[in-house]
Chain A
Amino acid sequence: MTDHSVDEAKVRELLELTQALPRESEPPASAWEEIRAQLTVLPAHRLRPAAAWQRPVFLAAAAVLLVAASAAVTSVVLTRDRMPAVSTSVAAGRSEQEGAAVLAALALRENQYLQTVNGLIELIEANESGLAPETTRTIRASLLVIDAAILEVRQALAEDPANAQLLEILEANYEKKVDLLRRTTAMARS
């Protein structure tokens, strides 16, 4: 038997074995609850600003951004009809419009993150007894660091809303926060 046919036989064996791999695996029972928490929009009255996991700085920052986005859109709408014909002014106006659009899109995205974060916080609060005090302290400290980073990037974005790199960093920070909260939820339930 040649090397080539030996190789072919081995590949065939491997692929036959692959067909025997299970095609289904039951996910953890808690997985759906976390998904569901993120599907439903939580009404404002269910937010608990004083709760341990709630980050007032985060909510305040989001509110500031929503106001900034709204103001920027208003500014563009008000100035749209009286744009000067000078090319530099047109360019500046376009940039202003782009900035407003970015801020408006960002406000929507932040709203989604807020819903996700609030849903996860509720789940963590419901299962907080499953976490060791030291773990809770560490996670809170980490959340504070992430929130500070979010605030800093958002302030920079308010100055330069068209900066794509800042947007990417902001998104990464939000992802980090959601990731940490999800892991915490999983830990609290394990």
Chain B
Amino acid sequence: MSPARQDGRPREPLPELIERARAGDTDAFELLYREHSPRVFALCLRLTGGDRIEATMLLQDAFISAWRALPGFRGDAPFTTWMHRLTVNAMLQNARGTRRREARVLPMDDTTSTTAASRGTDAGLVMDLENAIARLPEGARTAFVLHHIEGYQHQEIAKQLGIAVGTVKAQVHRARGLLIKALER
């Protein structure tokens, strides 16, 4: 069965799209964006603690970086993995530039009534977890999201964030503890 898009038109193979985008074809790049942006945006939302404006800006930064870096994309890693790396890099650059997100991170003790109100169903539990992740301190959140949701190894995260492997493990451990505590409330 040939792959098809939601609009029914046949989907162009990824390597060809990448090749066309690399040559400066913005229409091809748009197709890449349409295909990959939902996955990247989910990551952006989690890395920014659920702030949609911040997440949208991060998504845009990531795809603009991708456009600039496409000539150097060799296909050694899957395009999705490459995009995720660019997203994390964009987040780190933003964090270095303004540290604006740090000021917004709420302490885990500051749980809201909406968290408790949505308990009782699986969907509610998932929503509780999403809210609790958003409230994690930034370092713990980034490590948890990359390790447990995006499937990165501790070493990869350490390399990407420029921190020690032990620090990543400690952050993941801390995040798990805080999340368990938050979900028990």
**Which positions in A face B, CB cutoff 8 Å?**
10-11, 14-15, 17-18, 20-28, 31-32, 34-36, 38-40, 172, 175-176, 179, 182-183, 186
Contacts and interface: CB of A to CB of B under 8 A. Distances in A.
A17 B119 CA distance: 13
Task: Give the contact-size bracket for chain B.
Answer: 35 or more
A10 B178 CA distance: 12
What DSSP secondary structure best describes chain A's contact surface? helix
Given A35-B63, A38-B64, A186-B56, A21 B26 contact: no
A40 B60 contact: no
A39 B45 CA distance: 23
Interface of B: 26, 29-30, 33-34, 37-39, 41-42, 44-45, 52-53, 55-57, 59-60, 63-64, 67, 97-98, 122, 125-126, 129-130, 148-149, 176, 179-180, 183
What DSSP secondary structure best describes chain B's contact surface? helix
Given A27-B38, A35-B63, 9 more contacts: A14-B176, A15-B148, A24-B38, A24-B42, A25-B45, A27-B56, A31-B56, A32-B33, A179-B57
A163 B73 CA distance: 33
A39 B149 CA distance: 31
Contacts of B30: 32, 36
B59 A11 contact: no
Nearest to B123: A20
A25 B98 contact: no
B98 A175 contact: yes
Given A23-B39, A25-B38, A27-B41, A39 B64 contact: yes
